Chain A
Amino acid sequence: MTPMTEEQTNLTIDNPKMSARDVKVFYGEKQAIKGVSIDVGMDHVTAFIGPSGCGKSTFLRTLNRMNDTVASARVEGEITLDGENIYAPSMDVVQLRARVGMVFQKPNPFPKSIYENIAYGPRIHGLAASKADMDVIVEKSLRRAGLWDEVKDRLHDSGTALSGGQQQRLCIGRAIAVEPEVILMDEPCSALDPIATAKIEELIHELRGRYAIVIVTHNMQQAARVSQRTAFFHLGDLVEYGVTSDIFTNPRQERTKDYITGRYG
């Protein structure tokens, strides 16, 4: 374990779900993440904020190894899920991604029916024994995603025919259908209007506690509204990590303060 610098105070929490230690990410020669250590807990929503290109999305994608799909990406350091190194050869990446679900910036439902969108994950992981089981999973997931009442009469319509906000909630429903432990959200509201955004934020509140949620956002008000802990990234560094209210009212670092007060970003 690397020694804690003064900058990274407050980064450990009791009983972390996931923890990263000295994680460095390279794209070819370029270093995108410069040694980040952080803990993510089960009981709260963690927000990653920072200006564009600061590496917050890159870091998020290391948490479920989505960076594996980028040929030039290389990850150093250690990331654990329940104490198990997710980059260890014994870790099955397919299972990891079922346990650490992801919601993307642009709503990306499959061009299939609403039902099939939700049922796909449980089907490939063999979570439903029968059609009736699957119906239960689909309804439960859509209810948790706050979408059931809007779509229950048209489950077999195409998922791509829904509005942007509904599509994003469908994607959240699709992620929780496989019963993940952690949900990573990569700027889930950046393509949505304020009303749809409010619905997603409400949903994040409801999902809190059941799943460890990590949300990347460039909207600081959103981070303040939905998260209990906030990490501020800048130029590949984790500048500050702490309780959200502290970060926003009483930042310890000059850079954090400048960003929050809108001096750059």
Chain B
Amino acid sequence: MSTRNPTDWKSEAMRKRIAGRYAAERRFKFAGLFAVLLSASFLAFLLITMMGNGLRGFTRTEIALKVDFPASPLLLDPKAITDEALANANLPMVTGTVAKEALGEKADALLSPTAWISIRDAIKADPTILSRTATISVPASTGLDLAAKSKGSPEMEAEVARLKQQGVLSTGLNLGFLTASDGTDPTQVGVWGAFKGSLLTMLVTLILSFPVGVATALYLEEYARKNWWTDIIEVSINNLAAVPSIIFGLLGLSIFLNLAHLPRSAALVGGMTLALMTMPVIVIAGRNAIKAVPPSIRDAALGIGASPVQVVFQHVLPLALPGILTGTIIGMARALGETAPLLMIGMRAFIATPPGGITDPATVLPVQIFLWSDEVSKGFVEKTSAAIIVLLVFLLAMNGLAIYLRNKFETRW
């Protein structure tokens, strides 16, 4: 046997190896840092563009309209202001006349067609203004709104300059965007209908997919024998989670609409379709969470004579719950952002009233975004971005809820 030479830890080759090792570590660190910065900058770009465009969607341009009520052709008794009297007073016509006096011949193009509603509300709030001249803020037309906020047509830009000189132009919060539904005039549209549709759809999805998903995960992990049959089920579930969502839409179309004749474009069918999609995600997350419960806890419970059901419901499920909830909310968040399958079941219809229940025609936020982004009118651009902000806030709220629930139920060992 040959004797081994003692290793020279200070040799040139050794030194090189050490230097190489350090260099590799530094390169790896920089590559990681670069990746993080790149993704952070993409995110920042997305957020900044979104905010830049979208925040304007929450505001509207208003014109301070001076109304000399006694001189106006308005015939209203200040002592008998009822909804009926207001409805009969022909306010749109009066508004048009008043606006022409105040703003010139082109007033019709400057004011929103619904400007009279602001005047009606002002009278309702304080009938005494009928005996004097009052200044009321009314929404501007889409053209003027666009010109005031960014770029409009040359005539409108000129009008903006003129009105600004008069000092009657202002920017106000557009609360209507959160309370109104879809419409044809971009100054009048809102996300409430789509938001409510999303809420109802998510509710149906959650009610259907959570119990079924958790029960499936529990059965497969705790009861099912490991055999050929359960292997097939497992593979199918994993594949189901990866199936493109449009295919679930086709499935929903052919089964829920064509076969079961459920109402078209309703939150019920949308929710059922999305539940098909969400369930595999919940099953997979649930199984992983259940698997992660240490076997020693099962042993402990079985060892003092807990029945299998007691072990599952009193020990395994509570310990797996944070993981199950996280998985569920991730699945729900994905379903919330889903557009394609809902288009298949008719949720892309124009629906101007918020749904009253799960069987009413409804639309959802992502579909609303899709529809608005397709509109010709320029006013919809900022509305689209604003709707995206609403959707993102909704998603962030759901993820926040996931983090909160996980921390709340997490067991400290």
Which of A's residues lie within 8 Å of B, judged by CB?
64, 66, 69, 71, 94-99, 101-104, 106, 108-111, 120-121, 124-125, 158, 160, 171, 174-175, 177-178
Contacts and interface: CB of A to CB of B under 8 A. Distances in A.
Interface of B: 225-226, 294, 296-307, 310, 314-315, 319, 411-413
A102 B226 contact: no
A103 to B, nearest CB: 8
Contacts of A174: 300, 304
A28 to B, nearest CB: 12
Nearest to A177: B304
Contacts of A96: 305
A98 B302 CA distance: 9
A125 B307 CA distance: 10
Contacts of A111: 297, 319, 411-413
Contact of B303 (A95, A102, A106, A160): A102
A97 B300 contact: no
Nearest to B305: A98
A160 B305 contact: no
B296 A108 contact: yes
Nearest to A99: B305
Interface of chain B: mostly helix, strand, loop or mixed: helix
Nearest to B310: A124
Contact of A106 (B296, B298, B304, B305): B296
Nearest to B413: A160
B412 A101 contact: no
A222 B269 CA distance: 68
Given A71-B226, A104-B296, A64 B303 contact: yes
Nearest to A108: B296
Chain A to chain B: the 7 pairs with minimum beta-carbon distance, closest first: A98-B305, A108-B296, A102-B303, A121-B304, A97-B305, A111-B411, A108-B300
Given A104-B296, A104-B299, A98 B413 contact: no
B302 A97 contact: yes
Contacts, number: 72
A97 to B, nearest CB: 4
B302 A171 contact: no
B294 to A, nearest CB: 8
Residue among B294, B304, B412 with the highest chain A CB neighbour number at 10 A: B304
A233 B301 CA distance: 28
A89 B196 CA distance: 57
Nearest to A121: B304
B407 to A, nearest CB: 15
Contacts of A120: 301, 304, 306, 314
A125 B300 CA distance: 15
B411 A97 contact: no
- From A94, A95, A109, A174, name the one whose CB has the most chain B CB atoms within 10 angstroms: A94
A124 B305 contact: yes
Contact of B302 (A66, A99, A175, A177): A66
A71 B230 CA distance: 14
B260 to A, nearest CB: 40
A178 B305 contact: yes
Best-surrounded residue of B294, B296, B305 (most CB of chain A within 10 A): B305
B305 A69 contact: no
B225 A71 contact: yes
Nearest to A111: B411
A192 B319 CA distance: 26
A173 to B, nearest CB: 11
B107 to A, nearest CB: 72
A108 B299 contact: yes
14 contacts: A69-B302, A71-B225, A94-B307, A108-B294, A108-B296, A110-B301, A111-B412, A120-B301, A120-B314, A121-B304, A124-B307, A158-B412, A160-B413, A175-B303
Nearest to B319: A111
Contacts of B294: 108
Nearest to A69: B302
A121 B305 contact: yes
Nearest to A176: B304
Contacts of B306: 94, 120-121, 124
A187 to B, nearest CB: 13
Contacts of B303: 64, 66, 97, 101-104, 175
A144 B174 CA distance: 71
Contact of A178 (B225, B299, B304, B307): B304
B412 A160 contact: yes
Contacts of A110: 297, 300-301, 315
A106 B297 CA distance: 11
A174 B301 CA distance: 10
A216 to B, nearest CB: 14
Contacts of B305: 94-99, 121, 124-125, 178
A109 B299 CA distance: 10
Contacts of B226: 71
A110 B310 CA distance: 14
Given A98-B305, A111-B411, A178-B304, 9 more contacts: A69-B302, A97-B303, A97-B305, A99-B305, A102-B304, A104-B300, A158-B412, A175-B304, A177-B304
Nearest to A174: B304
B160 to A, nearest CB: 66
